[in-house]
A and B are shown apart, each in its own frame.
Chain A
Amino acid sequence: MDIKKFTRSYRFNLYGITVLLFAVIIFPFLVPSNYIISTFILIGLYGIVCTGLVVLMGHAGQISLGHAAFYGIGAYSSAIVSGKFDFPPLAGVLTGILIACIVALLIGIPSFKLKEHYLALATLGFGVIVFTFLKEWTSLTGGLNGFFGIPPFEVAGFSFTTDRSFYFLVWAVLAFGLWFANNLIHSRTGRALKSIHGSESAAESIGINLMTSKLKALIISAVFASVAGSLYAHYISFINPQLFEVMTSIVFLIMVVIGGSSSLWGGLAGAIIYVWLVELLKDWVPLLGFSTGGEFEIVFFGVLLVVLLIFKPEGLMGSWKERKSLFSPQKKKVQDKKGAAL
């Protein structure tokens, strides 16, 4: 047998990314509505964050309740570096990545010394700290009034001022992120992460260093979130600390759970569903006689999450995988051989 069969899911994902790229290019010509394009920019940004979370949650099995803070670190780094100090936007993105890496190390090292889910607690606290920090350090961040006048993203003299150009930028970054994550998942490092998820003591027994492996996953997901945050800041040109509150972290988590953390596509699927449901709710809820409000959103997604965890706990993309393996020829062959000893 050659490796072709083993790499089937890897290649399947590669085709998926290629198809996605084509769809992304054609889409704005089919749907010229600026409103829809702007929702897709948001989906792309959330998709980047959630793809990072898929690596962290679905593969390394670690839960973060603070990814909005990494998103915020990226956004404020870009805002301050390019908006306040007039450096090129790329410098802001790189600053964000650097800070996100350092912070991920600072949170990761102590919390990974403990077993089980202490990362969730540590990141929850970290989210609150970052929020307070952004709120109080007014001379640098503008505090609760927000940070105004972030210049548009610019690279090699080309400035992404229109929604359409920005849409292409975000989805190109997302496609690269998916490609990177796909490569990583189907590699020695990815297997090490999955091993940790499966059994920590067994992973150690074959020489996998739990600390460094988990740190790698946390750093990768932090970088994804930071890059998305930087792009977000350049896109909307005005940010305030409330955008990066703990609730946003939970929203990211909801997206990943809805989409399914075990699949490469779970993050993107979750982002699409979340953003579109929010948009639809905005239109439909007033028809039911309620006045629109964020509270309804919370109730709706709460119920959705409960229903999903009962019927499809592995998330929407996860269930596809399940069904595929049900009809795979491999399974049948073994059932025929059932009863053969050892």
Chain B
Amino acid sequence: MNLLEIKNLSKDFGGVHAVQDVSFTIKQESITALIGPNGAGKTTVFNMITGVFPPSDGTIILDTKKISNKKPHQIAKEGITRTFQNLQLFADMTVIENIMAGMHLLTKTGVWKAGLRLTSAKREEQYIYDKSMEWLKKLNLEQEAYLPAGTLSYGKQRLVEIGRAVITQPKLILLDEPMAGLNHNESAKLADLLLDMKKEGNTFLLVEHDMEIVMRVADHIVVLDHGVKIAEGTPDEIQQNASVIAAYLGSEVTV
């Protein structure tokens, strides 16, 4: 079943056509990778899906509901969360607070209930804490729960960011270069984690440059070049695709 449907998506910045007429779909419980050389428009597609800016043209449909032109926090409410290419952690907050902040959408205590510390607020706080702790255990971060998130190693900060995005169990999770800055060992472990989470029913869309990882985790790959979709298919198909090879390595010259 299709979870996300992107139809004829375009984005112009002044005269620059950053993304042109891109269409693809994402199936439930799958990992889709969006790849392409630098400047291909991958992050622009991400930013349109998450509402950072509206598309110039085209539609984005999540579960039969049109979500293009919504604001970022509304998109999150619809069930799409994300991580960022350059980590966007709440560095001064502790690890557990970061994860707990991720629970925002699942909870509803407002200013009055919280300020007067009514019983319902206390109960909800306990619920948020328990659920966050559960996730920290899952991510193997319980030892670091009370440290400021900014003091963790890069790899662990990545995990915190992913934890914050998945805790509400959104319909779709966007990961912008999740392997960037990780060493070989760390990225292999993160790839395992993603595959495990897929088995548990999560759906991912990721932008990634590490081809080894992409080929290993992705069920479906979409290739962009100069803002245009040049290919899509399974990892095997993409590896054989002549235009993809041309985009990455240049085409053979026939004399």
Contacts and interface: CB of A to CB of B under 8 A. Distances in A.
Contacts of B117: 183
Interface in B57-88: 71-73, 76-77, 81-82, 84, 88
The SS class assigned to the A binding surface is helix
Contact of A194 (B84, B88, B97, B145): B97
B128 A188 contact: yes
A342 B186 contact: yes
Interface residues of A, number: 42
A206 B128 CA distance: 15
Given A184-B111, A204-B72, A195 B93 contact: yes
Contacts of B142: 1
A187 B126 CA distance: 10
A207 B130 CA distance: 20
A187 B144 contact: no
Nearest to B193: A342
Contacts of B144: 334
B105 interface: yes
A194 B93 contact: yes
A13 interface: no
B143 A188 contact: no
B118 to A, nearest CB: 9
A181 to B, nearest CB: 8
B22 interface: no
B116 A183 contact: yes
Interface bin, chain B: 35 or more
A189 B109 contact: yes
A202 B88 CA distance: 6
Given A341-B189, A342-B156, A207 B146 contact: no
A220 interface: yes
B38 to A, nearest CB: 21
B73 A209 contact: yes
Interface in A286-335: 325, 328, 330-331, 333-334
B216 interface: no
Given A192-B101, A204-B71, A207-B76, 20 more contacts: A1-B133, A5-B146, A181-B115, A187-B115, A191-B101, A201-B72, A201-B88, A202-B164, A204-B76, A205-B50, A206-B101, A206-B168, A208-B73, A208-B104, A325-B148, A330-B146, A334-B144, A341-B189, A342-B155, A342-B185
